[in-house]
């Protein structure tokens, strides 16, 4: 269970997942379901036996839920007519985001309730929400029943030589005016599903069975929904208007949540969420089986799951999140195979099979680890200690029992720091990339290893009282050169630590903008289920919130993750960034005065670093794909689009390879062995590349750095090495500044 002041990316992820899972029925309507040539939408009359109705207990739960939202949520927002209007729109969007089932006159029929839902809900009257759902459910069932019946003939009649396209912005479409307009949307969406399977390599006789099974399963699921499911959808259409981390959990969802707070996949180590009809990877758990296997990445979308080395793939498009989780979970040592659309796929038609052996993540594998890297500078190599912190952990039970050697982040880092100091390193890098957070206590204690004393975080409660925490006693601390490396997946406790180091100007923060999760949730029991409610907000000692904006690095690297897909700012109704009164604190150095100089040196290196150029080019290509507003439904045009994007990706890769003195590829190779065989110097090239040339002040660029803890030929972590270069630059610049002042 989430403790009041425990922070983690998992706090965001499960809440987002719960938020989206309440839209499960909507996810059945996403583009892959889509539509047929035949008129599926019959006039719907709801038979009394088919009506799902709320219970008296739900009425009591609704009243108490509203009371808690109004009095205890951080925003202090009243459930008034304005919010009532938003509730109607959000509920309709939750059920039918692609505007595929309900018609304009249906929406108009409920328009009279727009400013009455606040009064109804507050008084336990849930009739409007259930009326809307019953109409929606019957329309959906009618569509799916007819689709299952007509699908083989429909697929056989499709003409893929016609020049037409599918909109990728269904949310911008208005409600269909009539059955004919709705049927046309369905027809194009089904055609897109068929075309995607064809281009992905499915034979014509395989496509119909795949889709028939998919839609039959979805029909079976929608028929199993009960009043608790409907109430959860309706209640969350309201709660998520307060913020995306405030959610109503039905009794069934609460039980599952309490068993496994993060809904992470036991067995492979991945955190999932639903996006449209897809199960999407939100985060890879450090040191877990998926992380070690290395192929599964954040934002990959899972299409199908198979058991063992040769089991049959089960299509999971449109499934409930908990059902997908259950399918992927399994005993240690067993194998699961995932069919995914890679996050960096050139088109949605690309597929990849990933095989992972299930295992458990061991605590010691998530512990902080150290290494030493060498950064050439002039005629010498400077040695920098790197401490990688995957999460902010603490053995609470061991601490409560008074065990003298209980495990914690701060204890481990203190030991590693002492070892690095004994090895006479020239500086230290704290690597917080992909660290989703954890214990707030550990974030505070860890900061205390690098400052003499002082506050580290401010916590503002919904009562508007501000609590401060930090290091209260003056004790010895590491006062040597320090850098903190972050990325988009650095969240919560990571942001508190990085923000404190930045505010104290104790070290330089490098990397990309962090996640921006700056809120705290608490669980509140209700007559039925629980309410997960945002009750507090984190602020830095500078007074800046970490919410929404996250931590902005002093020197910014290209972001490896799409900031339009990952991060607090991508979530609807996320609380805004704001400020409160700062806390007086010491400033150890004048970092801001160094930042322009350090940035110039970094940019000079990056321009000549093939790996940085590759990152920039890849981000530009991903942005191009992300901003596409339609997909061609003509087979030749679709293949041409895929080949065009593959060619661009290949050109970007070969640009990097040639700059590093490696032979270019004729095509992307599926086998890692084949790729390794191609990693040889280009003909007539010695293998020395621009990345090995000397940069400003003799600092090497990227690939010349050597890790003492890794003597293999593994690819260099270019971002870590550049963080080292920047730290060395900062040390040199500060020394020069001090010498100048003394003169």
pLDDT at 257 over 60: no
pLDDT at 62: 98
Q: Which of 290-304, 540-554, 646-660, 709-723 has the lowest mean pLDDT?
A: 709-723
Q: Which residue has the higher pLDDT, 124 or 612?
A: 124
pLDDT at 286: 75
Sign of the CA dihedral with 642 first, then 294, 316, and 234 last: negative
- Determine the pLDDT at residue 276: 67
pLDDT grade for 446, boundaries at 50, 70 and 90: very high
CA 679, CA 653: separation in Å to the nearest integer?
A: 12
| Distance, CA of 66 to CA of 77 (rounded, Å) | 11
- Residue 503 known to be catalytic: yes
Q: Are residues 214 and 350 in the same domain?
A: no
pLDDT of residue 326: 82
Nearest to 433, CA basis, from 101, 133, 720, 203: 720
Do residues 311 and 412 share a domain? no
- Look at residue 36 in the predicted model and tell me its pLDDT: 28
- Identify the pLDDT of residue 186: 87
Place of tokens 């009739």: 127
Residue 710 lies in a domain: no
Domain range for 664 is 627-692
User: Which of 566, 662, 685, 672 lies closest to 614, judged by CA?
Assistant: 662
Query: pLDDT-based confidence at 128, cuts 50/70/90?
Result: very high
Structure token pair of residue 458:
């401010």
Query: Averaged over 532-556, what is the pLDDT?
Result: 96
Shared domain check, 447 and 576: yes
DSSP, res 408: B
The stretch 660-671 carries a mean pLDDT of 76
DSSP 453: S
Distance CA 559, CA 551 (A): 13
Q: How far apart are CA 124 and CA 604, in angstroms?
A: 64
First to last CA, the chain: 59
Task: Please state the rounded mean pLDDT for residues 548-574.
Answer: 91
Cβ atoms of 414 and 467 closer than 8 Å: no
- Residue that wins the pLDDT comparison between 242 and 439: 242
3-class state of residue 337 by DSSP: strand
Q: Between 378 and 244, where is the model more confident? A: 244
423 and 541: one domain? yes
Which token pair is 348?
A: 């949605």
Structural domain includes residue 734: no
Q: Give the angle subtended at the CA of 738 by the CAs of 734 and 741, to the nearest 5°.
A: 140
Question: What is the per-residue pLDDT across 447-457, written as a single tens digit (0 to 9) for each?
Answer: 999 999 999 99
Local structure of 387: helix, strand or coil? strand
Contact 315, 383 (CB under 8 A): no
3-state secondary structure of 526: coil
Going by pLDDT thresholds of 50, 70 and 90, the confidence category of residue 24 is very low
What is the overall mean pLDDT for the chain? 83
pLDDT in tens, 367-410: 899 999 999 988 889 999 999 999 898 887 777 888 888 889 99
DSSP H/E element including 205: helix 204-223
- Beta partners for residue 166, in sequence order: 631
Residues 281 and 413 both lie in one domain: no
Report whether 90 contacts 237 (CB < 8 A).
Answer: yes
Same domain, 397 and 518: yes
As given in the structure block, the two tokens for residue 544 are 């800046």
Average pLDDT for residues 122-129, to the nearest whole number? 97
Q: Given this model, what pLDDT does residue 367 score?
A: 87
Give the domain CATH number at 409. 3.90.226.10
The answer on pLDDT for 661 being more than 80 is yes
Q: Is 586:504 a contact under the CB 8 Å cutoff?
A: yes
Q: At 557, is the secondary structure helix, strand, or coil?
A: coil
Reduced to 3 states (helix: H, G, I; strand: E, B; else coil), residue 29 is coil
CB 7 within 8 A of CB 521: no
Please report, for residues 493, 544, 620, the alpha-carbon distance to residue 583 in angstroms, rounded to integers and kept in the order given. Answer: 19, 11, 40
CA distance 353 to 732: 48
pLDDT at 274 (0 to 100): 74
Residue 257 resides in a domain: no
- Say whether both 44 and 188 belong to one domain: yes
Alpha carbon distance 597, 116 (integer Å): 59
Is residue 454, in this structure, part of any structural domain at all? yes
Burial group, residue 472, by CB count within 10 angstroms (0-12, 13-18, 19+): exposed
| pLDDT interval class at 444 (50, 70, 90) | very high
Examine the domain organization and report whether 182 and 132 are in the same domain.
yes
Q: What is the CATH number of the domain that holds 319?
A: 2.30.42.10
Q: Which two tokens stand for residue 73?
A: 């949520």
Q: Are residues 84 and 194 in the same domain?
A: yes
pLDDT confidence of residue 699: 29
pLDDT at 101 over 50: yes
pLDDT higher than 60, residue 677 = no
250 has a pLDDT exceeding 70? yes
Does 701 reside within a domain?
A: no
Domain boundary among the residues 239, 258, 283 is at 239
List of E strands, 266-412 = 270-275, 278-284, 301-307, 314-315, 335-341, 352-357, 369-377, 380-388
Question: What are residue 541's phi and psi, to 5 degrees?
Answer: -70, -15
Q: Which of 239, 259, 291 is the last residue of a domain?
A: 239
With 0-12 / 13-18 / 19 or more C-beta atoms within 10 angstroms meaning exposed / middle / buried, residue 96 is: buried
- Residue with the larger pLDDT of the pair 268 and 21: 268
Task: Find the farthest-apart pair of alpha carbons in the chain and give their distance in angstroms, rounded.
Answer: 92
Mean pLDDT is highest, among 110-119, 682-691, 696-705, for 110-119
105: in domain? yes
715 pLDDT band, cuts 50/70/90, is low
In terms of Cα–Cα distance, which of 261, 265, 257, 236 is closest to 248?
A: 236
pLDDT, one tens digit per residue, over 183-208 is 888 899 899 999 999 988 888 888 99
Residue 737: per-residue pLDDT: 67
Give the pLDDT of residue 534.
96
Helix H, strand E, coil C: the string for 253-277 is: HHHHHHHCCCCECCCCCEEEEEECC
Rounded to an integer, what distance in angstroms lies between the CA atom of residue 489 and that of residue 457? Answer: 20
Residue 252 lies in a domain: no
Task: Tell me what pLDDT residue 34 has.
Answer: 30
- Tell me, yes or no, if 80 is annotated catalytic: no
CA 410 to chain CA centroid, nearest Å: 26
From 213-217, 375-379, 495-499, the region with the lowest mean pLDDT: 213-217
Q: Is the pLDDT of residue 17 over 80?
A: no
The band of 277, judged by pLDDT with boundaries at 50, 70 and 90, is confident
The pLDDT, as a whole number, for residue 256 is: 58
Cα–Cα nearest to 391, from 291, 492, 468: 492
Do 92 and 161 lie in a common domain?
yes
The whole-number pLDDT of residue 255 equals 61
- Dig out the tokens for 222 from the structure: 């929608």
Catalytic one of 388, 426, 445, 503: 503
pLDDT band, very low/low/confident/very high, at 690 (cuts 50, 70, 90): very low
**Percentage of residues of the chain with pLDDT beyond 90:** 50
Closest CA to 274 of 253, 298, 301: 301
Residues listed for the chain: 743
Residues 284, 407 share a domain: no
Query: How many structural domains comprise the chain?
Result: 4
430 pLDDT higher than 50: yes
pLDDT of 739 reads 62
Q: Which residues contact 560 (CB under 8 A, 6 or more apart)?
A: 487, 488, 512, 615, 719
Q: Which of 492, 649, 700, 703 is catalytic?
A: 492
Domain match, 353 and 466 both: no
State yes or no: pLDDT of 48 exceeds 50: no
Following DSSP, what letter does each residue of 137-192 receive, concatenated? HHHHHHHHHHHHHHHHHHHHT--TTS--EEES-GGGSPPPSSHHHHHHHHHHHHHH
- Active-site position among 191, 370, 517, 532: 517
If you average pLDDT over residues 618-627, what whole number do you get? Answer: 83
Can you tell me the distance from the alpha carbon of 102 to that of 171, in angstroms, rounded to the nearest whole number? 13
Among the candidates 549, 584, 619, a domain finishes at: 584
Four-CA torsion 134, 136, 137, 140, nearest 10 degrees: 160
Q: Say if residue 345's pLDDT is above 50.
A: yes
668 pLDDT band, cuts 50/70/90, is low
Least confident stretch, 122-126, 641-645, 739-743: 739-743
CA proximity to 515, closest of 554, 446, 475, 565: 565
- Look up 159 and say whether it is catalytic: no
Domain-embedded: residue 546: yes
The CA distances from residue 307 to 288, 312, 478, 612, in Å, are 19, 7, 50, 39
Q: pLDDT tens-digit profile of 280-322?
A: 888 787 778 888 888 998 888 999 999 999 998 988 887 877 7
What is the distance between the alpha carbons of residues 430 and 490, in angstroms, rounded to a whole number?
12
Both structure tokens of 595: 């930042």
Residue 50 gets which letter from DSSP? G
Contact in structure between 189 and 166 (CB atoms under 8 Å): yes
């Amino acid at each position: 269970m989430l403790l009041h002041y425990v922070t983690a990316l998992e706090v965001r992820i499960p809440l987002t997942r719960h938020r989206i899972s309440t839209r499960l029925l909507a996810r059945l309507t996403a583009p892959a379901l889509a539509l047929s040539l035949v008129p599926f939408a019959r006039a719907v009359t709801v038979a009394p036996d088919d009506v799902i109705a709320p219970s008296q207990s739900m009425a009591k739960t609704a009243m108490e839920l509203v009371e808690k939202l109004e009095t205890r949520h951080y925003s202090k927002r009243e459930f008034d007519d304005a919010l009532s209007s938003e509730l109607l729109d959000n509920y309709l969007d939750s059920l039918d985001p692609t505007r595929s089932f309900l018609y304009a006159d249906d929406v108009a029929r409920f328009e009279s309730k727009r400013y009455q839902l606040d009064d109804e809900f507050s008084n336990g009257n849930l009739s409007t929400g259930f009326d809307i759902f019953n109409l929606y459910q019957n329309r959906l069932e009618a569509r799916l029943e007819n689709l299952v019946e007509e699908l083989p003939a429909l697929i056989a009649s499709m003409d893929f030589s016609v020049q037409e396209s599918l909109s990728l912005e269904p949310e911008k479409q208005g409600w269909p005016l009539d059955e004919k307009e709705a049927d046309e949307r369905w027809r194009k969406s089904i055609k897109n599903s068929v075309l995607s399977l064809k281009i992905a390599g499915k034979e014509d006789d395989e496509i119909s069975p795949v889709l028939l099974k998919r839609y039959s399963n979805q029909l079976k699921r929608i028929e199993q929904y009960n009043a608790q499911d409907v109430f959860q959808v309706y209640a969350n259409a309201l709660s998520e208007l307060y913020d995306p981390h405030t959610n109503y959990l039905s009794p069934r969802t609460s039980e599952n949540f309490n068993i496994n707070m993060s809904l992470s996949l036991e067995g492979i180590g991945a955190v999932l969420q639903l996006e449209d009809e897809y199960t999407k990877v939100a985060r890879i758990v450090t040191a877990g089986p998926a992380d070690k296997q290395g192929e599964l990445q954040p934002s990959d979308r899972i299409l199908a799951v198979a058991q063992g080395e040769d089991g049959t793939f089960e299509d999971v498009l449109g499934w409930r999140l908990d059902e997908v989780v259950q399918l992927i979970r399994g005993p240690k040592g067993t194998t699961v195979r995932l069919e995914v659309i890679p996050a960096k796929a050139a088109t949605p038609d690309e597929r990849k099979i990933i095989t992972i052996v299930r295992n458990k993540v061991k605590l010691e594998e998530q512990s902080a680890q150290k290494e030493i890297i060498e950064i050439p500078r002039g005629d010498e190599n400077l040695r920098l200690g790197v401490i990688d912190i995957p999460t902010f952990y603490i053995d609470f039970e061991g601490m409560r029992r008074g065990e003298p050697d209980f495990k914690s982040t701060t204890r481990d880092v203190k030991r590693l720091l002492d070892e690095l100091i004994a090895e006479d390193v020239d500086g230290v890098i704290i690597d917080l990339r992909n660290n989703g957070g954890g214990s707030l206590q550990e974030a505070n204690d860890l900061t205390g290893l690098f400052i003499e004393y002082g506050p580290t975080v401010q916590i503002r409660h919904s009562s508007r009282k501000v609590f401060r925490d930090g290091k209260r006693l003056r004790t010895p601390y590491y006062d040597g050169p320090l850098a903190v490396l972050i990325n988009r997946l650095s969240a919560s406790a990571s942001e508190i630590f990085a923000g404190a180091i930045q505010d104290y100007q104790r070290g330089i923060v490098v990397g990309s903008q962090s996640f921006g999760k700056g809120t705290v949730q608490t669980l509140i029991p209700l007559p039925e289920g629980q309410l997960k409610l945002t009750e507090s907000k984190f602020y830095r000692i500078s007074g800046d919130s970490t919410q929404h904006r996250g931590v902005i690095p002093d020197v910014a690297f290209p972001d490896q993750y799409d900031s339009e897909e990952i991060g607090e700012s991508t979530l609807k109704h996320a609380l805004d960034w704001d400020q409160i009164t700062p806390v007086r604190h010491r400033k150890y150095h004048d970092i801001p005065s160094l930042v322009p100089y350090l940035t110039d040196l970094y940019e000079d290196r990056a321009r000549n670093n093939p790996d940085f150029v590759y990152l920039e080019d890849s981000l530009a290509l991903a942005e191009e794909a992300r901003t596409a507003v339609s997909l061609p439904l003509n087979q030749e045009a679709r293949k041409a689009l895929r080949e065009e994007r593959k060619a661009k990706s290949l050109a970007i890769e070969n640009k990097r390879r040639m700059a590093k003195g490696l032979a270019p590829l004729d095509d992307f190779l599926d086998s890692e062995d084949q790729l390794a065989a191609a990693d040889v110097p280009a003909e007539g090239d010695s293998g020395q590349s621009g990345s090995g040339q000397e940069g400003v002040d003799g600092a090497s660029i990227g690939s010349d750095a050597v890790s003492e803890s890794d003597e293999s030929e593994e690819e260099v972590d270019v971002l870590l090495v550049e963080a080292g270069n920047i730290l060395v630059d900062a040390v040199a610049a500060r020394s020069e500044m001090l010498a100048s002042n003394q003169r």
